[in-house]
Each structure stands twice: as structure tokens, then as C-alpha cells.
Structure 1
Amino acid sequence: MIIDSHQHFWIFDKERDSWITPEMQAIRQNFLPADLGPVLDANGVDGCVAVQASQSDSETEFLLQLAEANDFIKGVVGWIDLRGDHLYSRLERYSQFEKLKGFRHVVQAEPEGFMLQPAFMKGVGQLVAFDFTYDILIHQHQLEEAFHFAVKLPNVHFVLDHMAKPLIKVGELEPWATGIRKLAELPNVSCKISGMVTEANWKEWEKADFRPYLDVVYEAFGTDRLLFGSDWPVCLVAAEYEGAKGIVTDYLGMFSDSEFQKIMGKNAVGFYNLDI
């Protein structure tokens, strides 16, 4: 069983989706379940987790509607104002949606210290009461802050998105690797093997470019806390789905079948408590 733990849907809006720059022309269009379903089938993927791409309540509702209508969407990671008023009652309402598994905030765009704000930490801490997870989306320079954030919330289940976006394009390992190893010391933190191709040279990457970074996350997190994710359709600026998936499956060729199954699906099922 293969589960893609990280992909997105959107109806493209030039203003809302301003992060999709003109050089990312390949993804300046709509991407919906009808587009992804055949791709998953062609690549032998049994289901996926849809992750928020914009920060609004309507985004969460949009993803829940798609999940309700499409069985292959096994889980949703939505957005909610984690510093907002009446958060607990809003989480209580969202807990009624079986496919809603967790939340994410685009911290990579926030100023230094954002994660350590008391209001934000209090909000993330409330996720525990409803068994919601939290996806950590950051750049590598925020790894130290993420460590202090996660260490203060030991009961929250965290997953690091896109390996904290190492500088693969220039072949730089440090200080990223040190930050990854430190964060991985915390047992409540997992890591998605996702988003790599967009951190590399979009036009000229080779599978060997990713091996040093995969070695680091494997040695740090082991095979029980790594989750495969395609980051479709964002990956399309640098690779087709098959190419993004192939980077991971080729690397896992040296692993046992049970380890392969964990990283490519079982860990996502366990982390997000997916109904398979």
C-alpha cells in the first residue's frame, strides 16, 4: 500500500496564489481530484493526504468537500487561525469531520519567533484534545526555532514538511543537517520526504543530487518516522509525478520490504490515523 502524504488542490487565483510566480507557469492553473486520480492510479498509489495551500477557513472547507466526494483522498490537513478566539469550540466542530486529520500554518513566510508566540503555542497545544496533528512548514534557518517549539509541546504529533527545504540546488548540507538531527531527537516529530525537486535545479537535477539529504533524514528519523509525499502539483515545475516518486523509491531500493512499506505508506496511515 502506497500513500502520498502530501499534495494539494486549488482553483487558481492569481492574487490569492501569488506565491505561484510566472516562472512556475506549469502550475498556474486548476488542479483538482479529476486531475490527480489518474496519476495516482498510473503510479500505483492507493490514496493521498490533501494539504492546505492557502490560509483561510474556506480552504479547509474546500478540501473537506473534495475529500467527501473522492474516496482516494484519505485525509485533509487544513488551516485554522490557531491564535484566534474561540479556537477550542471551532476545533470541536471540525472534529466531526472524519477525514480532517490536522492543520498547518505557512510559518516559512512568518518572521523570526512566530512559532514561539504564546498565543500560537497555546493554539497548537489545543490540537491534542481532538487528536489533530500539526504540519511544520519552514525553511532550514527556522529549524532551531522549530526544535524549541516542538520540545515545549511534547504531546502534539508533528511532521516536518519538505525536510525543511535544504539548499539542494547548491549542494549545501550544513547547517541544515545539524538542525535536522537536533529536531529528530524529539520522538513526537516525524518528517516528510517531499518537496525535494523544487529545491534542486529544476531543469538539470539528477537522482544523485538528493542522496546526501536522504541519508541525513534516514539516519536522523529512521524508517518509523519518515513519510513519502509527492508535493503534487508543485513538483510539476521540476518533475512529473513519476519522477518525484522515483527519487524516493530508487533510494529505498536498498531497504527491506517492510521498511519500504513503512515509508511509502504505513507511516502516513499511522501518523494521520487514516481509514484505509
Structure 2
Amino acid sequence: MSDAQALVDAHHHVWDLNVRPQPWLDEPGHEPIRRSFSSHALRSAATRTIAGRRLTSTVVFQCIASVPETRDLLALADSDPLIGAVVGWADLTSPAIGDVLDDLRTGPEGRYLRAVRHVVQGESDPRWLQRPDVERGLRVVGERGLGYDVLVRSHQLPQAIALAERLPELPLVLDHAGKPPIARRELTDWDRHLRTLARHPQVRCKVSGLVTEADHERWTVDDIRPVWDVLLSAFGPDRLMFGSDWPVCVLAGGWNRWAATVEELLGDCSESETQAVLSGTATDFYRLSDEKEGTLPCS
């Protein structure tokens, strides 16, 4: 399939609660997704096209701090042609992180590991990403040719900025656009920090997870558009990538409604700009067309 026809969902999850509990699902408000979700369920949910494109490839993400979960995701990617890459977890604070990453990449399924992530949004330390042990771990991640997905809330964006400044050689992608507080309509600080982060050329940004930062029941495209305008202005289409955050997006409308919203947001973009957001940026960052080991782009 040509790039002009491809649609990459650069951010989704799967979990089987019979195999591995997801304690975060016990939080109030998560009742609609407090069940198991498979990649086959994603295929059934993602029926809408975006700019004439149907879903062709995905990147599956870790949910919990678990190396066994990452192994399961790698095995799933090896067996499911829809999944082109895995973003897994490893303990960044561990002196043995290099050995853990090397072990994860051993075997045929290990080639799907393209980045790692830690749920920094759950850390109370306002400088967690600047801890010496964490920074050491992140350097090892970069040395292994992997990227790092940054999951922070809007008030934690200064950590991401400092990370980009201190490790310019580490390819980064900001998950969920840094979780702008859309429901509260308080975007000033997020806007300022987001633009500062975007000045670092090794950083990409994911157009994902926005509807769950809005009012789950009442959000409209007009609520999302101010965020989209900032993202497009700050990063440009060549550093933006579409993601659904499925099945979390079920809490605020689901995959197809988010797809329709993204299509509307892309209405003024050229074909090449649309291609970058819907396929090109994610394909380059996560090396979706490359089954061999390699190095991620830094600029």
C-alpha cells in the first residue's frame, strides 16, 4: 500500500484482565473500559476512514510498569500484522536497564520494540525526568537506538523541556500533546510550554488523547480546534502524528468519532501535510517500514 493510502494509529492499547490486572482502571470514571480489549476489537471499532484512508498500521503501548507486559506486546506484534511497533516499559532507574533492553530485543519479536515509556504523569516528583538515575537510563535508551515517549500532564511540561535540552540526541515524542486542560479552558500555560518544547527539533508530538481532556459528554470540534491550531503552528505537520488512544477514547466518543474530528481538523491542510500527520511522521519515528534494527531520526 502506498504512503498516500496509509493510515497509522500511532497510539493504542490492548489488555486482557484475565491475564494481567490494570489497577488504574479501578479509578472512578473508567467503568466503560473496565474490561479486556484486543487488537481484534480495535479492528472492529476503527471502521471510519480519515481523508479516504482506512487503518493500515498501529503502534501498541504499555499501560503498566511491567516488563512481562512488554514481552506480551512484542509477541502480539509478531503475530498480528496490524501492529507495526511496540512502545514498552523498562525501569529507567535500574543500573541494569541496558541488559533489560538487550534481553527484550533478543529473539524475532524483539525487533518491534521501537521506544519505551514511563507514566511520568503519575510521579509526584516535579523533576522526575531530571533525576540522575532516570537521565542515565534515558541515555541508555538512546544508545540502544530507541526513542522515548513522554507522558506528562500540562503542568509537567517543564520536565519535558529540560529533558529535550539535556538530551538533544534522544528522539522524543510527546504523548497526547501534553494533556492540555481543555475542559477547564485554561490553555495559556500549556500553549507557552508547548511552543518552547517544539523548538527542539528531536521532538515530535502526538495528536491523541485530547477528547478525554475535554468534557467527555459535551465536547465538540470547536473545543479541540484551539489545541490543534497551536500544535500545527508550533510543530508543523511534519512533526505531528495521529493517534487514537484507543480504547481510552471510548470514554469520550470512541475511535470513529475521533477520526471524524481529525478529518475535520485537517480540512485546510494540503495532501502532503495530511499524509505527514496520518502516516509519515509515525512511520519515520517508529520505523514502521523497517523490520531491522536502526536508529531513529533526531531532526
Query: What TM-score, normalized by structure 1, do the two folds share?
Result: 0.96
The AA in structure 2 aligned to 1:230 is S
1:72 corresponds in structure 2 to 82
Where does 1:192-203 land on structure 2 (aligned, <5 Å)?
192-203=206-217
Alignment partner of 1:260: what SS? helix
> Which of 14, 22, 27 matches 1:9?
14
Partner of 1:91: 101
Cα distance in structure 2, aligned partners of 1:24 and 1:144: 28
State the Cα distance separating 1:234 from its structure 2 match.
0.1
Mapped partners of 1:144, 1:83: distance in 2: 20
Shift of 1:13: 6.9
Output one character per residue of 1:29-69: Cα deviation in whole Å (capped at 9) or x when no partner. 00011211233455411010001011111110111111111
1:112 CA displacement:
1.0
Which residue of structure 1 aligns with residue 113 of structure 2?
A: 100
Structure 2 match to 1:58: 68
Please give the residue correspondences for 1:181-192 in structure 2 after superposition, counting only pairs within 5 Å. Answer: 181-192=195-206
Q: Which residue identity is paired with 1:222?
A: G
Matching of residue 242 in structure 1 with residue 256 in structure 2: yes
Separation in 1 of the partners of 2:96 and 2:80?
Answer: 31
User: Secondary structure at 2:170's aligned position in 1?
Assistant: coil
Instruction: Give secondary structure in 1 for the equivalent of 2:114.
Output: strand
Is 1:48 equivalent to 2:48 in the alignment? Answer: no
Q: Report deviation, 1:187.
A: 0.6
Q: 1:103-182 residue pairs with structure 2 within 5 A?
A: 103-110=116-123, 111-182=125-196
Q: Which residue of 2 aligns with 1:31?
A: 37
For residues 141-178 of structure 1, the C-alpha deviation after alignment (integer angstroms, 9 at most, x for no partner) is: 11112101121111110000001111111222110000
Count of residues in correspondence between the two structures: 276
Deviation of 1:19 (Å): 2.1
Q: Distance in 1 between matches of 2:286 and 2:73?
A: 16
Post-superposition offset of 1:129: 2.1
Conserved in 1, the CA contact under 8 Å of 2:48 and 2:260?
no
Partner of 1:204: helix, strand, or coil?
coil
Q: Is 167-176 or 180-189 further displaced after alignment?
A: 167-176
Paired letter, 1:23: G
1:224-248 superposed Cα distances (whole Å, 9 cap, x missing partner): 1101000000000111211112221
Distance of 1:17 and 1:92 partners within structure 2:
26
SS at the partner of 2:17? coil
Give, as a single letter, the amino acid of the residue that structure 2 aligns with 1:107: V
Structure 1 portions without partners, runs of 5+: none
Aligned to 1:216: 230
**Partner SS for 1:248:** helix
| Unmatched 5+ stretches in structure 2 | 1-5, 291-299
Report the CA distance between 1:95 and its aligned residue.
3.1
RMSD: 1.6
What's the secondary structure of 1:224's corresponding residue? helix
Superimposed CA distance per residue, residues 91-146 of structure 1 (whole angstroms, 9 cap, x where no aligned partner): 22233411111100000011211100011011111112221110000000111121
Amino acid at match of 1:100: L
Counterparts of 2:221 and 2:177, CA distance in 1: 16
Q: CA–CA distance in 2 between the matches of 1:42 and 1:173? A: 30
Preserved CA contact (<8 Å) 2:93 2:137? yes
Q: Is the 8 A contact 2:121 2:153 kept in 1?
A: yes
